[in-house]
A and B are shown apart, each in its own frame.
Chain A
Amino acid sequence: MATVRFRVNGKARSVDADPSTPLLWVLRDHLQLTGTKYGCGIAQCGACTVHLNGGAVPSCQVRLEDLSGADVVTIEGLSKQGDHFLQKLWVELNVPQCGYCQAGMLMAAADLLKKNARPSDADIDGALSNICRCGTYPRVRMAIHRAVAEQS
C-alpha cells in the first residue's frame, strides 16, 4: 500500500492502495467516480479514457504509483454543468445508444479538438479508436464535424 497524492477534476485527492492499481479502478472504486468505464483493461476499447496532464490516455494503463502530482480530468470534470460544446452536441444529435462507451468517446474527442481545431476525417479516425458496440460512429463523426463548424 502507498499513499499517492494527485488532482482529479481540480480537487486534491489522496489514495492509499496497492501501487499497481490502475487509475481506472482508483477512480471507480476508491474515488466513486464511475463515469470512467471498464471495457477491456488492455488499452483496446477506450471506454476508460481520461485526460492525464492534459492528454487523453486509457486509464486502465496508468498505475497509481505513477500518478504522484498528476492532474487527471474525467468525464465528470469535462465541464461544470455538462455543458461542454461536445456534450451539448452529443445530446442534440442523439449520439449515444447504450452510452457505455460515450464517456471515453467524449474525452477522446475533446482532446482531439483541443489539439487540433480543424481535424480532417483522417485525424478523427486516428484519434478516436474507441470501440462502440452499438455502432454510434456515424453520429460521433457528425458531431465532431458540427463542433468544428460551430467553433470556427
Chain B
Amino acid sequence: MNDLSMDRRSFLVSATVFAGGMALGAARAAGQPGRSGPWGADAPAGIELSPWIEIAPDDVVTVRVPTPEIGNGAMTQVAMNVTEELGCDWSKVRAEFASIHRDFVEGGSYTSGFLPFFSGHGTDPVRMKQALQLGASARERLKAAAAARWKVPVDEIETRPSLLVHQPTGRKLRFGEVAAEAGRIKLAAEPALKSQSEWTFLGKASPGKLNLPEMVKGETVYGIDVQLPGMVYAALMQAPAQGGRLKSHQPEAVLRMPGVRAVVVVDPAKTKGAPVKPKATFGLQGTAAQSGVAVIADHYWQAKMALDALPVEWDAGPGAQWTSTEAINEARRAILAKAAGKSIRKAGDVDAVSGGKVVEGLYATPLCENATLEPLNGTALVTGDAVEAWLPSQDQGQAFWVVVDETGIAPEKVKVHQTYVGGGFGRRTLSDDARMVLAVAKEYPGKPVKVIWSREETMRQGRYRNPVMTRFKAILDEQTGLPKAVSAEANATGMALPMGYADMPYFTSGIIPNVRLATSDLPLNILTGAYRAPCYNSHAFITETFIDECAIAAGIDPLEYRLRLLGKWDKSWSDCLKIAAEKAGWGKPLTKGEGRGIAISNWPKGALRNEGTTMCMVAHVAVSEEGTISVKQVDVAFDCGRVANQDAVRAQIEGGVIFGLNTALNEEVTVKDGAIVEGNFDEYPILRLADAPRLINVHFDALSNNDRFEMIGEAPMGPIGPAVGNAIFQATGKRLRTTPFRKHDLSRTAADIASETGVVVTSLSR
C-alpha cells in the first residue's frame, strides 16, 4: 500500500516530477487559486488533485486546460485524455481555461511540454501523455484513499466510471466522496500509463465539444462579450498604410458627441517595455504597436460614430511605395528574374541536365486575411501599477507577455483571462491585437475599456497571409516521363517555411535525381503573419499544380504519375492517393464541363516518413458556360497515424476543406498606396452554405495506425486548392496558376464545352 501522508502540500510538491520530466505544478497559493474561468465563480468548487484537475463532492470533474478553444475542440480533447486514465464518467466532466496568472505566480503550474498555451496541436502526443499522466496519477490517489478508508490493499480496488469498487466485498465509493483524502495522498511512485490497446474511451468514443450546450444558447463568452462593471467602449483606427503615423486629428470635433469620453492616441513610442525578460511563446517580434487613434465612449455605437466623424490625417510613411498589388508582383518578378535565391534543397546538378521535354510555369498566391468571424477585440483595466485583461487569444503565454511589455507593469501584477475565441486561424497567435488593446486602455486608466476593431479595421489591419510567387521548371525523362531535373525559385514575404515546397518527398526522396530549390524574401511594409497552415497554404498549391502540369506534359494520368513519383516513399502517401481516387470514382466518365483533380501534401513534416499528416484530396468540379466554378464533391484520404476522436477529426477536415476552398476560389486583399482596399465581406467574399460542396467525404481508410496522433487542422489547406485547380484544368483545359480562381475568366461557349474532351491520357493502371 502507498504511504499515506496526510500532507497535502507534500503531495503537490512531490507530484512535480512525472514520467517524461513533466512538471505537474507547485503547491497552490493558499486560498487563492487564481483561476480565470471560461467564466464563472472564482472560488474552487471542489478538491484539487493538481492545478489541472478538481473533483467536486458531486463527482463533477473540472479539467483546467491551458490551450484555448478556438473551435478545433482542443479543450475537449485534453479533457478526454484526462478522462481515459482517470476513469470518470464523461457526463461529469467539464473543462475550463487554466490561468496564466496562476501559472506565473506558482512558478509554472501549466508551463510544461510543447507550446502549452497554444491553441494548435491540440492532440499531439507530447501533450496527450501529460494529460494521460495527470489522469492516471489522480486515479491512483483516489484508489489509495479508498483503500485507506476501507483498510484494504489498494490492488483490490477497481475503478468504474466515477466509482471506486472494492472487488472482494463489492463496497463502493464515489470519486467525490474520497477526493479530499485523495488530495493528501503521497504515492511512492507515479503510475505507469495504460497501453493504448487498453483504452476504452480515446479512439473509441466521439463526444462532441464540451462547451456546446452553452454555445447554442448564446451563453458562451467570447472576447467581444466580456461585461464588466463601469466598462466603456473604444473604437479604434490605425494608420491605413501599415507603419504610417498619425499626422493630425481634431478631437474637439467629436468630444461633444453623445457618450464620448475621450479621444486617445496610440503612439508606438509609448510602449513601456517589460520590466523583466519576457518569455513570450513566439517572442515579441511582429507585435509592435501601430500608430492609431481611438474614441472612448459609453457605448460602442457612440464610439464608432464619433470615430467615423473624427477628422484625421495620416502620414503614410514608407508603405506608400507599394502603390498597387501589381507593383508588389512586379517587384517579385524582378527578384525571381535574378534567380539569386538562397538554395534550400539541392541534389545532383540541375544545370548538367539537357534533352527532354521542359515544363515551366510561374505561379503565385496573394495576400489574404484570416477574417475570423469575431472581429479583433479585447478588454483591459489598467490601474496604477496593475492590469487585468480579458483577451480572445490563441496563446495566453504570448498575450500575457505582450501585456507586460506594453504596460511595463510587473508580471505578478498582470492578470490575463482567456475568453472563448470566435475563430483564430493564426490571426490571434502573436497578440499584436492584445498590445493595441492595452495601448488604448492604458491611456484611459481606472475603467475597463473594451476595444473593438470594426470589421473594416480588422480586415485592413491584418497580419496577412504570406504571398508566394514561384517559378518552377522541370525537364522530363524521355522514357519515364518523370522529371529528371526540377529547379525552382520561390519568393515569399516574412516567415519562410518549407512545407509543401522543399519538404515534398518528390524533391527529398531521391526519385528526381537533380533538384535545386531556392527561396528569396521580398520585404513589404504590409504586415504578414500566420494564416492557417502558414506558407504551406501557398506552396502546396503551387507544387501540386506544377506536378499536375508535368503529368499532363508526360501524357500520364495525374494519379498514376504521383504514384510513380511516390511509390518508393512512405506507403501512406500511395495509400492516400489510391483511396481518395478510388472513393471518388477516379477515371469514371463525367459530363462535359466537369472534371476531377487530385493533389496531396503533408503538414508539417513531408520530408519524414511516418510523420505529420499526409492528406490527399480528389475534387469533382463543374465549370458552367458563364465560367462559374462549383465544387460538387471532395474525397479526402489522410494519414495522421491514429485518431483520438473520429468526429472531431472529421469536423476539422470538413472545415479545413471549406476554408482552403475559399482561399483558392475567393480570397485576395489588394493594395493601394500601402493600404488594404477591401474592408468587408461584400468585397472579400466567403463561401456560403449554398456554395459549399454538398459532399465532403472524409475517408479513414488510409490511416496507417502508426503510433502518433498528429494535428489535423492545417493539413487540408494544402491539397484542396490544387485539387480544384487541377479539376478545372480537366474540365476546361485552362490551367490556373494563380489564386483566387474567381479572378480568372473561365467562360466558354456551349460549342467549346461540347468539344472538350477531357485531358487525361492514359487509364489508371494499379
- CB of A59 closer than 8 Å to a CB of B: no
Instruction: Produce 1/0 per residue, B210-228, CB < 8 A to A.
Output: 0111111111111011010
Residue of B nearest to A131 (CB): B686
Residue of A nearest to B211 (CB): A99
Instruction: Produce 1/0 per residue, B433-461, CB < 8 A to A.
Output: 00000000000000000001011000000
Q: Which residues of B contact A128 (CB under 8 A)?
A: 688-689
Task: Choose from B373, B424, B651, B686 the contact partner of A139 (Cβ within 8 Å).
Answer: B651
Q: Which residues of A contact B424 (CB under 8 A)?
A: 98
Task: Choose from A35, A39, A93 the contact partner of B373 (Cβ within 8 Å).
Answer: A39
Chain B CB within 10 A, most for which of A22, A87, A96: A96
Task: Choose from B71, B372, B655, B694 the contact partner of A99 (Cβ within 8 Å).
Answer: B71
Residue of A nearest to B226 (CB): A34
**A99–B681 contact, CB under 8 A?**
no
Q: Which residues of B contact A94 (CB under 8 A)?
A: 208-209, 212, 647-648, 651
Give A93-152 interface residues, CB cut-off 8 Å to B: 93-94, 96-103, 106, 121, 124-126, 128-141
Given known pairs A41-B455, A44-B681, A138-B654, the reply for A133 and B216 (CB within 8 Å) is no
Given known pairs A25-B300, A134-B423, the reply for A102 and B216 (CB within 8 Å) is yes
Task: Choose from B209, B219, B373 the contact partner of A100 (Cβ within 8 Å).
Answer: B373
A38 CA / B375 CA spacing, docked (Å): 8
**B420–A99 contact, CB under 8 A?**
yes
Chain B residue total in the interface (Cβ 8 A): 63
A97 CA / B420 CA spacing, docked (Å): 11
- CB of A12 closer than 8 Å to a CB of B: no
Task: Choose from A96, A121, A130 the contact partner of B215 (Cβ within 8 Å).
Answer: A96
**B218–A35 contact, CB under 8 A?**
yes
- CB of A66 closer than 8 Å to a CB of B: no
Instruction: Produce 1/0 per residue, B680-702, CB < 8 A to A.
Output: 11100011111010101000000
**B258–A96 contact, CB under 8 A?**
no
A148 CA / B208 CA spacing, docked (Å): 22
**B216–A91 contact, CB under 8 A?**
yes
Give B364-411 interface residues, CB cut-off 8 Å to A: 371-375
**B218–A129 contact, CB under 8 A?**
no
CB proximity of A94 to chain B, nearest CB, Å: 4
A121 CA / B659 CA spacing, docked (Å): 22
Q: Which residues of A contact B375 (CB under 8 A)?
A: 38-39
Chain A residue total in the interface (Cβ 8 A): 62
Task: Choose from A21, A25, A74, A121 the contact partner of B218 (Cβ within 8 Å).
Answer: A74
**B692–A82 contact, CB under 8 A?**
no
**B681–A100 contact, CB under 8 A?**
no
Q: Which residues of B contact A28 (CB under 8 A)?
A: 225, 300
- CB of B657 closer than 8 Å to a CB of A: yes
Instruction: Produce 1/0 per residue, B648-679, CB < 8 A to A.
Output: 10010011111100000000000000000000
Q: Which residues of A contact B258 (CB under 8 A)?
A: 1, 18
**B651–A97 contact, CB under 8 A?**
yes
- CB of A75 closer than 8 Å to a CB of B: yes
- CB of B299 closer than 8 Å to a CB of A: yes
**A34–B682 contact, CB under 8 A?**
no
Q: Which residues of B contact A90 (CB under 8 A)?
A: 212, 216
**B423–A91 contact, CB under 8 A?**
no
Q: A134-B655, A135-B658 are in contact. List 11 more A-B contacts (CB 8 A).
A: A37-B224, A38-B375, A41-B455, A93-B208, A97-B72, A98-B423, A99-B220, A106-B216, A134-B71, A137-B689, A139-B651
- A interface residues (Cβ-Cβ under 8 A, vs B): 1, 17-18, 20-22, 25, 28-30, 32-42, 44-45, 47, 74-76, 78, 82, 87, 90-94, 96-103, 106, 121, 124-126, 128-141
A-B contact pairs, 25 of them (CB 8 A): A18-B258, A25-B299, A34-B225, A36-B218, A37-B224, A38-B375, A40-B680, A42-B682, A44-B680, A47-B373, A74-B218, A75-B216, A76-B218, A98-B69, A98-B70, A98-B374, A98-B423, A99-B420, A121-B694, A130-B688, A133-B686, A134-B373, A135-B656, A135-B659, A135-B687
